[in-house]
Amino acid sequence: MNQLEQLKQYTTVVADTGDFQLIKAYTPQDATTNPSLILKAVQKEEYKHLLEKVARDHRELPTSKVADHLLVAFGLEILKLIPGRVSTETDARHSFDTAATVEQGREIIKLYEDAGIARERVLIKIASTWEGIRASQVLEQEGIHCNMTLLFSLAQAIACAEAGATLISPFVGRIYDWYKKNTGIEPVGAEDPGVQSVKRIYNYYRKFGYKTEVMGASFRNTSQITELAGCDLLTISPELLQELSNSEAPIERKLSAEAAPSAHVHKMSIDEKTFRTMLNDDAMGTEKLAEGIRLFSADAGKLKQLIVALR
């Protein structure tokens, strides 16, 4: 078996793309999208028609609402190709506004349900700020499942689990990027701080009985992926999916619920003060969270500009 086939024995593989053809090629269980991926997709000739149709059909709506329709239009096409769930992201500019995030999450789910899709097949992606985590708690209580993104620290992970979030997406590659930039060292394999962060979170969840799923994300190389074999899910770019498909090197399971109880992690309870203090003390987590929100906000803005140009 190639490495992708081996990985699927231990971990649910998720495609990190808005490109339908690539999703079809790699047959993942689930798929994730974000404004950056949708922005990249709609600039390809084969997907421009979706942008044009949504802009035309919803000309009377505010641009932000048209953008939601566009994200859902991509999600609906993706759901035709996968057996599992698609993740659709809320506006990053709502990252510090619990009420606005809750409202948008409800609206996105309604668009899917109006199209005949059960809410069980959709994950609402929300930035893992304190306000975003509180929004996820409200939505989860309404049966709207959440994927907590832009997650870089154990404090964020614990707060998400205590809020009852369905899934978290710790960003392996962006953690790696920060350490490489700030230390000049290129860590590999088990020494990679992004890999270590996800292992710590996974073991914490399984040791203390949290049901929240862990989906490693934002990979820079296949070594990071294979070091997390056994994680609940891994969302992988098409380029790295191809690399895994091209290799037959053996993959060993590195994470399991059975091994988690022996992990050296201690139970913590995270209230708002503790959350903010721990995140503030974590320079990497603070910087990457802020940077991620800025980048997703910028790409969401560019997507809206494309919509405005067609109206």
Q: For residues 269 and 31, what is the distance between their CA atoms, to the nearest angstrom?
A: 31
Is 310:56 a contact under the CB 8 Å cutoff?
yes
- Four-residue CA torsion sign, 292, 297, 302, 306: positive
| Whether 125 is catalytic | yes
Tokens of 208: 């203390």
The answer to whether residues 79 and 37 touch, using CB atoms and an 8 Å cutoff, is: no
Measured distance CA(107)–CA(101) in Å, rounded: 10
The span from the CA of 283 to the CA of 273, in Å, is 17
Phi first, then psi, for residue 237 (nearest 5°) are: -70, 155
What is the rounded CA–CA span in Å between residue 194 and residue 153? 10
8, 48, 110, 125: the catalytic one is 125
Which backbone phi and psi does 214 adopt, to 5 degrees?
A: -110, 120
Beta strand ranges found along the chain (DSSP E)? 12-16, 30-32, 86-89, 122-127, 146-151, 167-170, 213-216, 233-236
Nearest to 293 by CA among 109, 110, 151, 123: 151
- Calculate the CA dihedral of residues 153, 158, 159, 163 and round it to 10 degrees: 140
139/234 Cα distance (integer angstroms): 24
Q: Catalogue the active-site residues.
A: 125
